[in-house]
Chain A
Amino acid sequence: MKSSTKDRLFLAMLLGPTIVLVLAVVAYPFFENVRISLSNMNIYHISDWEVIGFQQYIAVLSEPQFWEILIKTLVWTAVNIIFHVSIGVFLAVLLNQKFVAGKSAWRVLLILPWALPQYITALTWRGMFNYEYGAINLITAKYLNLPAVEWLTSPLEAFMAVILTNVWLGFPFMMVVALGALQSIPGELYEAADVDGASSWSQFWNITAPLLKPAMIPAITLSIVWTFNNINVVWLVSNGGEPNDQTHILVSFVYEAAFSMYRFGWAAALSMIIFVILFTFTQLFLNRTKATESVY
């Protein structure tokens, strides 16, 4: 056997299991979902379903609730990411300063929300948002003399409650990524800037921010996709979209359609639309920011 054939065979043996695994757990479910999205699969046709074309896509796009929830999902994602990044970077810069004592302890403390299981954190926050007995209303009433807020029963406040919980859960990830990137910035750059008389603000914008970008852009992209699809927090804090399905984001809406209403075809079509939105966004964002280029 020729050496080049041997090498190819060797490569195929190494890659084979991975390819089979990816086909089984990514490609097959994806194409099966495409097939279901083109079908009438629902509770009345679960085993005798048939392909009906793009009717489910038309039904999703002509559903007014879809557009309301899409806007809500965009707001949810944008607000969360803004807070995750700004709080995360702020804390990372702070922890990177020489004058901060007990850095390890602070780091552990700040990573804690991320380290705890989401399930526990979400349900704890739900308890804290209770109108009469929740810690938030009790504290704001006692120390700030503010009136109690109906966090879980009024649509706007409930949505704010879900966002607050997710901000709490999400900033440590950004902080860890930013801290790692900050520690790899050579100290000489700041020393040179000091010699040139640059202010701290100027150093941040001209040294820190550009050198954080290669680490932060992929992290932000990932975080946007995670947040857009974060069913756990929304579902647990709002108890499945309460009140009156007003706190749904697209992914929880898909879950409800599939497993509460058994509208499998419709839910599959909606999930394909979510995929297209996220895929398009990710491509545009990565191309525009040239984040992958700067890695190489």
Chain B
Amino acid sequence: MYRQLCKVLLFCLVVTGCFLGCEEPDERVHVRIWHQKIGAERVFFERAVDIYNDSHPDRHVEILYKETEELRNLFIVASAGGQGPELIYSPADNLSIFALTKTIRPISDALSPDYLSIFGSDGVLSWEGDQLMVADQVGNHLTLVYNKALIPEPPTRFDELITLLQELTVDEDGDGRIDRYGLTWNYTEPFFFMPFLTGFGGWMMDEDGNPTLNTPETIQAIQFILDLRDKYKVIPRESDYNIAETLFKEQRAAAIINGPWAWGGYADAGIDYGLARIPRIAETGNWSRPLVASKGYSLNANVEEEKLPYIRDVLEYLTNAEIQAQMAKEISSIPTIPSVREDSVIQGNPILRSSLNQVEVGLPMPIEPQMRQIWDGMRGAYQLIMNGSTTAAEGAEKMQKDAEKRIADTFL
């Protein structure tokens, strides 16, 4: 029995060794990128990487998609453990978390000052004096998306829009249930509350990163959206991201507040859609200003020095003016190189022009590490507000308290 077992083990070892030995050694330099690109953006990215790999037989760029939250968490865990991809592509709001956890190193270690100088201020992102990200696009911003068949030209003030939305909100079959709403958006994520808060002149944090949510501006903004639902009845009683998307795609909502990641899906659903700035708040005269964030590449802290020249080449290929112009043309992304942004081809694209128009009044997404706790603090109260179980004033107070508690908790 003992001898037989030894023979079996020996046989297994020989077979395994043969297979390993027969495999040709891969001498290419591997550059791994984890990203969160979806839809048309991902298709474009994959194609661009394939072209690069085909023209560089001595190296291989490997890309791996991960959902945004998973991407951030897994990258932190991997990099803290001395592993992970050489490059991570993510929204700029992750930067401070990566920097605090020491999981990235300055992007200027790979790219020269000359190359970085071609980007606008939203193309090279810094935190505490270090250049940490090179962005290939700016945006990630909310916009008013409207169905042209129902709204030929949306008004620029909310009071005028509300009148129009009341006409568009209809019970077509008279069964007492609304068949089409004027407007919809995601009620569960406070990111979608920001245009209203900024429209009333509010903001979520002070210069030191302390939450500033229990303010008259927050209360007014909350009351405004409650009025849209309960007084004017132009938005659904309950709506999360998927419901809002479905309502708009099935023409059961005339307009939606959503971002660039979703626009391709509306075209696919056969909606003739247009983009417009989220209107001004009549009471303040302010535009409802969404948050605007760049998306780009950061360098893993564990990258070996000898790989840096290869990474530089890959980064320059993926972020240069030529590829940004192609991206703008094909997937309507907003370039971070000013000369490309001003290009006549881009200016001639109506979707891109409208998107840029919204970005002009947007506010940069803060990259402070407290941002995460502030979002989490706002989320619960925002949900309670939208389900009608708390008043505007109580909601604002709860947002502030929850955000403060979460920031304090993080230190233990």
Residues of A within 8 A of B (CB): 6, 9-10, 13, 40, 42-44, 46-47, 55-56, 59, 127, 130-133, 150, 152-155, 239, 242-245, 259-263, 265-266
Residues in chain A near residue B1, CB distance under 8 A: 10
> Cβ of A261 and Cβ of B383 under 8 Å apart?
no
Q: Which of B173-220 contact A (CB under 8 A)?
A: 177-178, 188
Assuming A13-B5, A261-B376, is B412 touching A153 (CB within 8 A)? Answer: no
Measured CA separation A44–B102 after assembly (Å): 9
> Cβ of B5 and Cβ of A10 under 8 Å apart?
yes
Q: Report the minimum CB–CB distance from B385 to chain A (whole Å).
A: 10
> Cβ of A244 and Cβ of B383 under 8 Å apart?
yes
Measured CA separation A244–B187 after assembly (Å): 12
Q: Report the minimum CB–CB distance from A6 to chain B (whole Å).
A: 6
CB < 8 Å: which of B100, B102, B410 contacts A261? B410
CB < 8 Å: which of B69, B188, B372, B410 contacts A239? B188
> Cβ of B406 and Cβ of A261 under 8 Å apart?
yes
Measured CA separation A282–B100 after assembly (Å): 41
Q: Which of B1-54 contact A (CB under 8 A)?
A: 1-2, 5
Q: Report the minimum CB–CB distance from A135 to chain B (whole Å).
A: 14
CB < 8 Å: which of B178, B242, B409 contacts A263? B409
Residues in chain A near residue B389, CB distance under 8 A: 154-155, 243
Measured CA separation A259–B73 after assembly (Å): 6
Tell me whether B369 is interfacial, beta carbon within 8 Å: yes
> Cβ of A242 and Cβ of B73 under 8 Å apart?
no
> Cβ of B188 and Cβ of A42 under 8 Å apart?
no
The chain B residue with its CB closest to the CB of A46 is B101
Interface of A is mostly: loop
Count chain B CB atoms within 10 A of each CB in A44, A150, A154, A243 and give the residue with the most.
A243
Assuming A43-B410, A153-B383, A239-B240, is B188 touching A260 (CB within 8 A)? Answer: no
CB < 8 Å: which of A43, A150, A154 contacts B100? A43
Residues in chain A near residue B411, CB distance under 8 A: 42, 44
The chain B residue with its CB closest to the CB of A56 is B412
CB < 8 Å: which of B188, B379, B387, B412 contacts A40? B412
Measured CA separation A42–B409 after assembly (Å): 10
Tell me whether B237 is interfacial, beta carbon within 8 Å: yes
> Cβ of A150 and Cβ of B387 under 8 Å apart?
yes
CB < 8 Å: which of A42, A131, A150 contacts B412? A42
Residues of B within 8 A of A (CB): 1-2, 5, 69, 73, 76, 80, 97, 100-103, 177-178, 188, 236-238, 240, 242-243, 246, 369, 372-373, 376, 379-381, 383-384, 386-387, 389, 406, 409-412
Assuming A44-B100, A154-B389, is B380 touching A245 (CB within 8 A)? Answer: yes
Q: Report the minimum CB–CB distance from A74 to chain B (whole Å).
A: 23
CB < 8 Å: which of B102, B243, B409 contacts A133? B243
> Cβ of A47 and Cβ of B101 under 8 Å apart?
yes
Residues in chain B near residue A40, CB distance under 8 A: 412
Assuming A43-B97, A263-B409, is B2 touching A10 (CB within 8 A)? Answer: yes
> Cβ of A266 and Cβ of B412 under 8 Å apart?
yes
Measured CA separation A259–B74 after assembly (Å): 9
Measured CA separation A46–B406 after assembly (Å): 18
Q: Report the minimum CB–CB distance from B38 to chain A (whole Å).
A: 18
The chain B residue with its CB closest to the CB of A142 is B175
Measured CA separation A150–B229 after assembly (Å): 15
> Cβ of B238 and Cβ of A242 under 8 Å apart?
no
Residues in chain B near residue A43, CB distance under 8 A: 97, 100-101, 369, 410
Residues in chain A near residue B177, CB distance under 8 A: 132
Measured CA separation A253–B330 after assembly (Å): 42
Assuming A242-B188, A244-B381, A263-B409, is B387 touching A154 (CB within 8 A)? Answer: yes
